[in-house]
Amino acid sequence: MELLKLEKIKDGKYLKNYELTYRNKVGKEKKYEIVSRSEIAGPEAIGGRVSGVSIVAYHEDKMLLLREFRMGVNRFVYNLCAGMLEEGESLEECIQRELYEETGLSVGKIRAILPPSFAAVAFSDVKTQIAFVEVDGVFEDHTSENEQITAGFYTKEQVRELLETEEFSSRAQIAAYFFTLS
């Protein structure tokens, strides 16, 4: 596989659309579309920048899950607290800010932050990190008028039930499943 050409097709407010031209393994040209949250200067820059964080949060023996309306699928899904890094912000600052904005909670302790990983390799170069944190506080709504989020703490038994009956983002589904095994 060889990338021959990278061309920006559309420059949206939050996403930039690119068309990639590849030579496939049998020598034929193939067009492929991707989206990115950042400007891609050239082939070497694809997937080179961490743009946000997903937060797997716990309080005592319960897991934090958000039930939120996602416009991209036109429905409520269970998700992790997550968000994009702001200019000049550290990952730890982003974790604290996003957790507070989406839930009103504060970080008690950061257990681990995994190395960067791709969020949706089939159509995007977006790279995020996953943080595991212990949280404190009480739920408060600090979301924008464009977000509808209900945060809650769930026991292992409650999470097992949700996994059987509700829709999740894939990252939240994986985290929730492994929470039920611990």
**pLDDT of the residue at 110:** 97
Pick among 3.40.1390.10, 1.10.357.140, 3.90.79.10, 3.30.930.10: CATH of 50-181: 3.90.79.10
**pLDDT of the residue at 7:** 95
Q: Give the C-alpha separation, 93 to 75, whole Å.
A: 30
**pLDDT of the residue at 144:** 83
Q: Which of 120, 125, 139 shows the shortest CA–CA distance to 8?
A: 125
**pLDDT of the residue at 145:** 87
Q: Give the C-alpha separation, 47 to 36, whole Å.
A: 8
CB 134 within 8 A of CB 56: no
**pLDDT of the residue at 143:** 81
Q: Give the C-alpha separation, 35 to 152, whole Å.
A: 32
Q: Give the C-alpha separation, 172 to 74, whole Å.
A: 18
Q: Map residue 129 onto helix, strand or coil.
A: strand
Q: What is the pLDDT of residues 112-129, one digit of tens each?
A: 999 999 999 889 999 999
**pLDDT of the residue at 35:** 95
Residue 163: which H helix or E strand, with range? helix 156-165
Taking CA atoms, 23 is separated from 88, 173, 174, in Å, by 38, 36, 34
Longest dimension (CA), the chain: 58
CB atoms within 10 A of CB 11: 9
Give the pTM.
0.91
Q: Give the C-alpha separation, 136 to 109, whole Å.
A: 9
Spans of all domains in the chain: 2-45, 50-181
CB atoms within 10 A of CB 171: 17
Residue 162: which H helix or E strand, with range? helix 156-165
Low-confidence residues in the chain, pLDDT < 70: none
